[in-house]
Structures are given as structure tokens and as C-alpha cells.
Amino acid sequence: MSSTIKLYKVIALLSLAILIFVQSRLVYNTVILNNKQYYLNEKAAISESYNQIIHNDKLFPGGQSIIDGYINPKLPELEFLYYNNRKEFTKKAQLISDSLFQKLRQSSNMDRVIRHIVIENQLKEDLHYALVIEKLKITFDGTEFIDLFDRKPSNELSSVISGDLIDLNPQNLITSLKVSSAEPNTYSLVFLLHVDTKNRIQAILKSSLSTFILSFISIVLVIGIYFLTYKNWLKQKALSEIRSDFINNITHEFNTPIATILVANKSLQRKNIDDDNKTLLTNVIERQSLRLKTFVSQVVDTVKFNKKQIKKTNLELIGFINEITQEYELKKDRNVVFSNNFDNYEGVIIKADRFLLITLLNNIIDNAIKHNLSSSKLIHFGIKKNNNEIRLYITDNGVGIPKNLRKKVFEKFYQADIRKSNGGLGLGLFYVNEIIKMHEWQLEIQSKEGHYTTFCIIIKKTTL
């Protein structure tokens, strides 16, 4: 893999990572925003109703009288201990707060208050709440407030007066109230009301689902577009390389016969040339002209081949193949040997375009001869026939086709490194594959490197 492709991959992956990070932050911020705004209107309604219910009271209706009746009588004792024995003051403060909270829990009517708020504001009935004391302080001089209780993680559970809501956080905080006085021998109280639904997280995620889906789809689309673009780019790059190789190859293939013709022509122009040499040179010119004509025809066919109109006629396959192999036996080297199993069959009729079938078979045979280093080049034709299909096998003893190249050899202009002879434009097997598709047949390849290649043409009954 070239350094350019590696660089493109690194840039693409880095861009994808940045996109995923940005999209993740977008989704995260959306969830946070939805969490903050969740039940915003309901929170306001609950807070207003709660404040009205406990107007001139604390915690819940009747809560102030409980606190006053418990704290006020103990202030003289607490004052004495505070100024004379701080250790005993701390113990006493803890005992008083624990006892007070226990009394408040026993006397709490918050369940009825919350139910009233739900009915009054037509809220969902699955609300859970927690009434919490945040701070409880006392003052002896009206100026300095001394902690009697301060809510901390270590005593968090003991501060809950009523309710079963466990997850207490700023998002489900309805109201925070502080009641204090600047008069001597009083107390200051800070208490909180948290209200939330049972499935808050699921509801928030559900409300953010559309953003998540759109974000996910956008990432998938970007990955898909990148993959297709990258794949097409590789195809275009490969095609560009193939075309470059084709131009270089065709330049060589055209220049060789042209140069030969020019040399032969100059030789013919010599005055002292005898008849034997003249015949030899004219034969060379004729042979190279035919070669050049073949190459030109192949190049022109690449432009118009796909537009070829197929004209099917009934053809007797065995006789058709025998005609083609007989022509090859007449014009090819003696080291090419054809064989078949046609004695087992007769009268195999197929529907095919005669010209295209000739092109198909000629290209397979030419390919078998060209890619064969054996002293005796064997080409065997075999037929198998059943009620559903006819299979035509063409097997050679050539160099074979590696498994990883068995699809590439059908690409236009493709010439593999396995080619052991000069000549050709990389169009032969391309034509074979196109003709197979035009007839709606199928083509299978079996091959073993250094031993053989078999082309199997499958002619289904529906195409006969």
C-alpha cells in the first residue's frame, strides 16, 4: 500500500474520530439540557403549591410547633454546655437533632400534602419525593449561629424526614427554604423538597432519542459515503493504472508491426533485391498488416462491444466447435493438440449468436495457447448434458490462474503477470465474460497453477 493511500486513511480516520467526538458531545449536552429542563413547569407548580401549604410553617403543616416545642425548652441547657463543655455540647446537639428528626418523621403528613399537590396541578401520580433538613442552627445572642445539625454524606440518610426518593440531585430539587430570625435564643432551619418520577432517566433518554438517532444516522452516512468514495477512488486509481498500462502496451503493439512494415518496405525499395527476398518481405508486410488490423479491430470493439445486438440462432454445438478447432489445426503450430469427448453426444442444439460464440471460443483458445509453456499444448473440449442444462468444458495444460486473479482476468485491459508471451491488449477474457452475460449463461473457472485451467460454460435450459 502506497504512502499516499495510508495518509488518506489516517486523515479519514482522524476526521471520523473528530466527527464522532463532536456528535457525542452534542448528544451528551442534549441529555444534560433535557435533564435540567425536565418537568420545568411542573417543578414551578409544585414549588408554588408547597409554599402556599406551609405558609408560616416549616417542613409540613404542623412542623413548626413540633420543632419549637422540642428546641426552645432545651436552649438554656445547650447554651450552658456550649460555653462550658463543648464536647458535651456536641453530644447533646446530636441527641437532640436525632430525637427531633424521629419525632418529625412520626408526625409527618407530607404524603397527604404531595397527593394534594398532584391532584391540584393534575400531575402524574408516579411522583416520588424526599423532604430533607439541610441545616439546623441555634443562636443565643441573635448574631452567632451555631450548628446543631449540618447535612453531610456521612449523615445524609438521617436528614430525610419524609418520602422514598433516593437519588437527590439539583435536577429534582423543587425548593430550598431557609427560616431564621435575628432574635436571641432562636434557631435557623434550612430544608429541601426533592420531587421526581420513578423512571426519570428513561424518560430523559427517550426525549433525547431523536437527537441520538439523527446523530447515529449522520455518522453512519458519513462512514458509508467515505467508504463508497474511497472504494470508487481505488477503482478509479486502478482503472487509471490499467489505462496507462494499456496505452503503453498498445503503443508497443502498434509500433512493432509498423516498424517491421517500414523496414520491410525500405528493403523492397532496394534495386538489387531478388525475387525470393521480395516474396519473403511481402509476406512479412502482409503478416504484420493483418496483426495491426487485428489490434485496431480489438480497440474499436471495446467502444462498441456493449452495444452489440445479440442475434440468436439454432447452432449444433459439436459441429460448431469442430469447425473452429479444424481452422486452428490448419493455422497454428503443430504443438497444439485438440481433443474432445464428443463421441458420447450428438445433436447438441443451442441458441446463440454465431459471431459472438466464435469470438468467445477463439478468445478462450487463444488464451490457452498464449499462457502455455508446455512442449505439447493440449486443449480438451468436454460436454455434459442433462435435462436442465448443458455444460461445455474447455481445459488446457497451461500455467493456470491464481485464485486471487480469477475475477480480475475478466476486467477490460487487464493483463496479469502470469502472461508468459508477448502480444495482446488484455481484452480476450473481457470479451468472453461479456458474451456470457449477453447470452445469460454462466461461467465457472477451475485452475491449478502450473498445471491446468478449465473454463466451464453453463447453458441453462431457459436460455436454450
pLDDT in tens, 248-280: 656 656 776 787 788 888 888 876 777 777 788
Q: What is the mean pLDDT of residues 385-406?
A: 88
Residue 435's nearest CA partner among 320, 357, 366 is 357
Of 43-52, 199-208, 455-464, the range with the lowest mean pLDDT is 199-208
- How far is residue 306's CA from residue 320's CA, in Å, rounded to a whole number? 24
Is-contact 204 31, C-beta < 8 A? yes
Report residue 315 as a C-alpha cell: 447452432
- How far is residue 182's CA from residue 326's CA, in Å, rounded to a whole number? 123
pLDDT over 90 at 382, yes or no: yes
The SS3 assignment for 174 reads strand
- How far is residue 101's CA from residue 154's CA, in Å, rounded to a whole number? 16
The SS3 assignment for 199 reads coil
| Residue 306 pLDDT | 52
Q: What percent of the chain has pLDDT over 70?
A: 82
Residue 79's nearest CA partner among 146, 26, 124 is 146
Q: Provide the pLDDT confidence category of residue 143 given band limits of 50, 70 and 90.
A: confident
Residue 128's nearest CA partner among 159, 96, 90, 160 is 160
What are the E-state strand segments in 160-270?
Answer: 160-163, 173-179, 186-197
Domains of the chain (ranges, CATH numbers):
38-207 (no CATH), 209-305 (1.10.287.130), 308-463 (3.30.565.10)
- How far is residue 204's CA from residue 195's CA, in Å, rounded to a whole number? 15
pLDDT over 80 at 375, yes or no: yes
pLDDT over 50 at 6, yes or no: yes
Report residue 322 as a C-alpha cell: 469442430
What is the distance in angstroms between the CA of the first residue and the CA of the last residue of the chain?
A: 46
Q: What is the mean pLDDT of residues 324-346?
A: 80
Rounded to 5 degrees, φ, ψ at 106 are -65, -30
- How far is residue 374's CA from residue 293's CA, in Å, rounded to a whole number? 29
- How far is residue 193's CA from residue 173's CA, in Å, rounded to a whole number? 6
- Strand-strand pairing, 377-385 and 442-448: unpaired
Residue 49's nearest CA partner among 129, 107, 126, 168 is 129
Is-contact 132 192, C-beta < 8 A? yes
Q: What is the mean pLDDT of residues 374-388?
A: 90
Is-contact 127 195, C-beta < 8 A? yes
| Residue 203 pLDDT | 64
- Strand-strand pairing, 452-460 and 377-385: unpaired
How many Cβ atoms are within 10 Å of 379's Cβ, its own excluded? Answer: 21
Of 120-124, 204-208, 270-274, 314-318, the range with the lowest mean pLDDT is 204-208
Q: Which residue has the higher pLDDT, 426 or 159?
A: 159
The SS3 assignment for 448 reads strand
- How far is residue 14's CA from residue 229's CA, in Å, rounded to a whole number? 16
Q: What is the mean pLDDT of residues 31-37?
A: 66
Per this entry, what is the length of the chain? Answer: 464
Is-contact 238 408, C-beta < 8 A? no
Q: What is the Cα 257 distance to its own chain's centre?
A: 52
